[in-house]
Structure 1
Amino acid sequence: MTRRSKPNADRPIHRSPGRSRDHRVVYVAVEGEITEVDYLAYVNKELIDDGQITLHVIARANGLKPMETVTKVLDDPDPGDELWVMFDRDEHTGIPQAFSSGRKNDVDVAFSHPSFDLWLLLHFQAFSGSQNGSSKIVHEKLRQYPGYETFGKQGDDKSVKGTRVDSIRGKERTAARNARKLIKDCAFDGCSEAGGHADGCDPLRRDPSTDVWRLLAALKIIDD
């Protein structure tokens, strides 16, 4: 069944009837069920010009694996819909396959290595150094900032609401600038701070990195 014929599948998505041809509809399927969903809710509420763009987030309880995000966002799109997926390195398998499927189906990938939490940290500071899939140091540094004192600790839900949103508000360009600086350290020839990672760059070697800034650029929140 498709999203249209199964209205209660995952998070229901309702298209806006009769939208202008100039109006953009963007779907983002996310790996996580809390952090990414909360962050994109903030983006949707405060940062997007909803007169020009409608953002829909696809998520599932207990999360989606990388290939599942691609499958979900490709579930019966309308012509002209813009499709994105967001997933992390963590300890996932199938990441190269998810990238390959995304390229074949015109799905953009906002990939983070080691995790989306790096994107949050970059709102406050620059970061560097291989993490080998671990977010331990990212979390240690993130906890130094207001609202994030317990982020990633056992029992904490890793939500991005309230004080945590207040702390990152208005720092999107700083985060993007710090994310782009990481690309300069990429070992693959052809990657650049201005152009991003080249198509042939192995995502598993982009350590650390995050391409969430590309989604924000596509949403006209920051300059591309």
Structure 2
Amino acid sequence: MERKRFLILCEGETEERYFQGMRTRGGPVLEVINPKVDHLSVIVEAERRRRIDDYDETDQVWCVLDTELDSKLAERMRAKAGTMVRLALSTPCFDFWLLLHREDHRAPFQAAGEVEKTLKSVLPGWSKGSTRFADFKDGVDDACRRAKAIDSEGSDYMRNPSTSVWRLVESIRGSVGE
């Protein structure tokens, strides 16, 4: 039986490290790429790779991106993604998804740097460059539950704070043993 494939393009190193750490023997194939380009170019690259790497309708192509609290940027990303590329958006940033592994946080942030500071206060020693999935693995169920409590559909992408990363994580976890 062929394993389900996920193509995951990230805008940052933190996201890349997190999803690379989710790879498991016998689990779905996770191809995690950080093309080191701007938000919209990440989506363009995802679409290009979906076509040339022969991903089919049973495979999933995702972009993990931050809204940066910019609703115009978020709208452009959603329009660019179309129907074949799925978005896992975090407001203001992916670090909020990581924070939800440790605590239920609902107060809005003024900037992405605030999220990073809050995460460091609950996880001393954490830094973007040292992100390891293993440090967050035990909190994945909590993070999914907390994120869904904030936005049960994963579509209120400009709610501050919010994240729809749970949709991707549940999809990966749900494909194990399919």
Query: TM-score, length-normalised on structure 1?
Result: 0.67
Q: Contact 1:117/1:138 (CA < 8 Å) preserved in 2?
A: yes
| Cα distance in structure 2, aligned partners of 1:74 and 1:43 | 23
| Cα distance in structure 1, aligned partners of 2:166 and 2:125 | 24
Larger helix share, 1 or 2:
2
| Cα distance in structure 2, aligned partners of 1:122 and 1:139 | 12
Q: Letter of the aligned partner of 2:38 in structure 1?
A: K
**SS of the residue 2:122 aligns to:** coil
User: Which position in structure 2 is the counterpart of 1:105?
Assistant: 83
Structure 1 84/166 Cα, relative in aligned 2: closer, same or farther at 3 Å?
closer
Q: Contact 1:67/1:95 (CA < 8 Å) preserved in 2?
A: no
| Cα distance in structure 1, aligned partners of 2:90 and 2:172 | 18
If asked which structure has higher relative contact order (CA below 8 Å, sep 6+), I would say 2
Corresponding residue pairs, total: 169
The answer to whether the aligner puts 1:116 opposite 2:89 as a matched pair is no
Measure how far apart 1:91 and its partner are: 6.0
Q: List alignment gaps of at least 5 residues for structure 1.
A: 1-19, 152-156, 184-192
User: Which position in structure 2 is the counterpart of 1:129?
Assistant: 107
User: Which position in structure 1 is the counterpart of 2:125?
Assistant: 149
Within a 5 Å distance, the mapping from 1:30-41 to structure 2 comes to: 30-32=10-12, 34-41=13-20
Q: Based on CA coordinates, which of the two structures has the bigger radius of gyration?
A: 1
User: Which position in structure 2 is the counterpart of 1:182?
Assistant: 150
The answer to whether the aligner puts 1:158 opposite 2:129 as a matched pair is yes
Further displaced range: 137-146 or 106-115: 137-146
Q: Contact 1:84/1:110 (CA < 8 Å) preserved in 2?
A: yes
1:116-152 C-alpha deviation (Å, 9 max, x unpaired) = 00111111100112224x1233223211234x4363x
**SS of the residue 2:130 aligns to:** coil
User: Which position in structure 1 is the counterpart of 2:66?
Assistant: 88
Q: Contact 1:114/1:209 (CA < 8 Å) preserved in 2?
A: yes
Alignment root-mean-square deviation, CA: 2.3
Structure 1 197/166 Cα, relative in aligned 2: closer, same or farther at 3 Å?
closer
Q: List alignment gaps of at least 5 residues for structure 2.
A: none
Q: Contact 2:148/2:154 (CA < 8 Å) preserved in 1?
A: no
User: Among 139, 162, 168, which residue is 1:171 paired with?
Assistant: 139
Q: Contact 1:26/1:55 (CA < 8 Å) preserved in 2?
A: yes
